[in-house]
Chain A
Amino acid sequence: MKAGGALTAFAAAGWLNPAHAEAQEWNKAAFDVRSIEELVKILGGEAASPNDAIDFNAPDIAENGAVVPLAVASAVPGTESIAILIEKNPNVLAGLFSIPEGTLPEIQTRVKMAETCNVYALVRAGGKNLYAVKEIKVTLGGCGG
């Protein structure tokens, strides 16, 4: 099974209906974590380490924290999933994207940031947890909030 670590962990916790592997339940525990270390503990695999094979593209400054565009492309062989974590948000995990066979390990999305902080793109591949990190500044400007 491709998304081995994550799915095994979900299954072990009873979150996965084996009849419909793709119809997994929302992983509340993952969205309650306070750090990348806690997320790795829940999803399983080795401790997270930085890796250059992850291209994490985002502006250095976001004009508004309500919408911060991110693009992540992983050149890590066997990338199974990509997670976005925002260090100082009330819920650190923003999204977890499972990459099935045949789908490129590249996603683009937009997130909310409560304040200027580090944002992590965590790539999971074959029991490894690799990440790229970038500080994104959130500004306030102009009229009308």
Chain B
Amino acid sequence: MANPMKIRARADGDLVEVKVLMAHVMETGQRKNQAGELIPAWFIQRVEATYGNRTVLSAQWGPAISANPFLSFKFKGGAKGEKVRITWFDSKGETRTDEVVIG
């Protein structure tokens, strides 16, 4: 099972800054193991961030996003005490959703 994300969301007025760390190997498919065999690609392909029913960011990623990806963005119209939810989908069909209360 995928490990949890670490999400921080801080409101300054109605502007919310979100910072996310995701636990993922982001394997490129170009590296070899010690036996000289290619390690298959395995990486997050899509990320969706939502606030209530509103999508506040969506991203598509390739294998060149670093391992344990970091993402930061800002959106308007958010409020302290409400939640931001982040979901990722990876190339093996695995997915994980975490949420955090805006502080």
Size category of the A interface is 20 to 34
User: Is A91 a contact of B65 with CB atoms below 8 Å?
Assistant: no
Residues of A within 8 A of B (CB): 22-24, 26-27, 30-31, 66-69, 86, 89-91, 93-100, 102-104, 106-113
13 contacts between A and B (CB under 8 A): A95-B60, A95-B62, A97-B57, A97-B58, A100-B57, A103-B73, A106-B74, A108-B73, A109-B65, A109-B71, A110-B65, A112-B28, A112-B63
Q: Shortest beta-carbon distance, B13 to chain A, in Å?
A: 13
Partner of B69, one of A66, A110, A113: A110
- Chain A residue with Cβ nearest B63: A91
Q: Shortest beta-carbon distance, B47 to chain A, in Å?
A: 9
Complexed CA–CA distance, A26 and B58 (Å): 11
User: Is A98 a contact of B76 with CB atoms below 8 Å?
Assistant: no
Partner of A99, one of B46, B57, B72, B91: B57
